């Protein structure tokens, strides 16, 4: 499966669908960044995507990214690496070294740790606040009714460089409701970036204003 994925062809196909969805929604396709999710994929497969011109990538674990990315990004200008998985406070320093964007800012203790470490290291990385739009107990993300206060706290009290929001809708619900909801929260706070949409629903996310879609399987094939 992942062995047989034709990565350059898949990238072209995903870009074509993004472009079509953007045009149908009256949006500029260049305002949508494809974040290729390479979690669990061996470095050689990711290198194929880089060779095909892909520049933004997502990983969900700090340790895995630390093992793969220093070599992958060396000599490759313009690579942007997004953290899309849960971040433990004891890995904040490492995460700021490896990642360009932290998409999973979702609780006060993490916000505090990020603010402190950014101040200490001087590594001010863009952050997206993850919102648990479906209020699912087992899922990460700030709960919807706490989102407004948390976003203000991160920006106003902690001076964190929050530029957007991220969500992962419940698997068996209509994603567009969640995308519209996330867009509305972002609008209230003047946040320009919306990270939403995965392999199953990224064209819908683009229609609802996604600036970043996180796509793994449709590019790299099924994870083992």
Positions touching ligand PLP (CB under 6 A) are 37, 39, 60, 84-85, 168, 198-200, 214-218
> What DSSP line would sit under 140-209, residue for residue?
-SB-HHHHHHHHHIIIIIT---EEEEE----TTS-HHHHHHHHHHHHHHHT--EEE---TTTHHHHHHTT
Q: How far is the CB of 120 from ligand PLP (least distance, A)?
A: 27
> In this complex, which beta carbon is closest to ligand PLP, that of residue 16 or of residue 149?
16
Q: In this chain, which residue has its C-beta nearest to ligand PLP?
A: 216
Residues 6+ apart with CB under 8 A from 16: none
84 vs 131, beta carbon nearer ligand PLP: 84
Taking the C-alpha atoms of residue 80 and residue 76, their distance in angstroms, rounded to an integer, is 10
Q: Which is nearer to ligand PLP, 112 or 217 (CB)?
A: 217
Min CB(32)–ligand PLP separation in Å: 15
Task: Provide φ and ψ at 126, rounded to 5°.
Answer: -55, 140
| Residue 217 Cβ vs ligand PLP, minimum distance, rounded to whole Å | 3
DSSP states of 1-23? -TTT--HHHHHHHHHHHHHHHHH
Closer to ligand PLP by CB, 175 or 216: give it.
216
In whole angstroms, how close is the CB of 109 to ligand PLP at the nearest point?
A: 20
Closest separation in Å from C-beta 58 to ligand PLP? 6
User: Which of 1, 157 has the CB closer to ligand PLP?
Assistant: 1
Calpha distance 117→110 (Å, rounded): 10
Cβ at position 55, least distance to ligand PLP in Å: 17
Which CB atom, from 168 or from 191, has the smaller least distance to ligand PLP?
168
CA gap 12, 73 in Å, rounded: 21
Do 148 and 185 contact (CB within 8 A), yes or no?
Answer: yes
């Amino acid at each position: 499966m992942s062995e047989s994925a034709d990565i350059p062809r898949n990238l072209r196909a995903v870009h074509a669908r993004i472009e079509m969805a953007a045009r149908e929604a009256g949006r500029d396709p260049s305002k949508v960044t494809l974040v290729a999710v390479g979690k669990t994929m061996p470095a050689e497969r990711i290198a194929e995507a880089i060779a095909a011109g892909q520049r933004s990538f997502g990983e969900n674990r700090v340790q895995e990214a630390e093992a793969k990315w220093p070599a992958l990004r060396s000599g490759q200008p313009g690579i942007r690496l997004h953290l899309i998985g849960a971040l433990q406070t004891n890995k904040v320093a490492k995460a700021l070294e490896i990642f360009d964007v932290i998409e999973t800012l979702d609780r006060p203790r993490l916000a505090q740790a990020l603010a402190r470490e950014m101040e200490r290291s001087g590594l001010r990385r863009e952050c997206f606040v993850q919102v648990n739009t479906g209020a699912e107990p087992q899922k990460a993300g700030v709960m919807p009714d706490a989102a407004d206060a948390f976003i203000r706290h991160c920006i106003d009290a902690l001076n964190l460089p929050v530029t957007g929001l991220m969500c992962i809708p419940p698997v068996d619900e209509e994603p567009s409701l969640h995308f519209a909801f996330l867009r509305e929260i972002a609008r209230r706070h003047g946040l320009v970036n919306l990270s939403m949409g995965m392999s199953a629903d990224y064209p819908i996310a683009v229609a609802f204003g996604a600036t970043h879609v996180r796509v793994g399987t449709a590019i790299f094939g099924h994870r083992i």
